[in-house]
């Protein structure tokens, strides 16, 4: 019985390299999709820079430095 189980495990794992190779296209597409999503998120920030600068100036003038810092930190994070 133990021999049968070990034999089954060995045969099952022998298919892993082939399956890994077959899934390469899916992994590549997933990577591209992740990069596109990140780029789209970054575009939102890029196109709202003027508004964010004005909001930051307003928060600084109101003494809300933590809010101003948060906006600037978000922009430094996407670079």
pLDDT at 64 over 60: yes
pLDDT at 30 over 70: yes
pLDDT tens digit sequence for 4-29: 688 888 888 888 999 999 999 999 99
- What are the extents of the domains in the chain? 22-78
pTM (predicted TM-score): 0.51
pLDDT at 53 over 60: yes
Q: What is the mean pLDDT of residues 31-55?
A: 90
Residue 60 contacts residue 68 (beta carbons within 8 Å):
yes
């Amino acid at each position: 019985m133990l021999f049968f189980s070990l034999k089954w495990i060995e045969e099952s794992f022998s298919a892993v390299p082939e399956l890994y190779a077959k899934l390469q296209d899916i992994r590549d597409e997933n990577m591209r999709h992740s990069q596109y999503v990140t780029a789209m998120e970054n575009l939102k920030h890029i196109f709202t820079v003027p508004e964010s600068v004005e909001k930051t100036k307003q928060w600084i003038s109101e003494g809300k430095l933590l809010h101003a810092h948060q906006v600037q930190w978000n922009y430094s994070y996407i670079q």
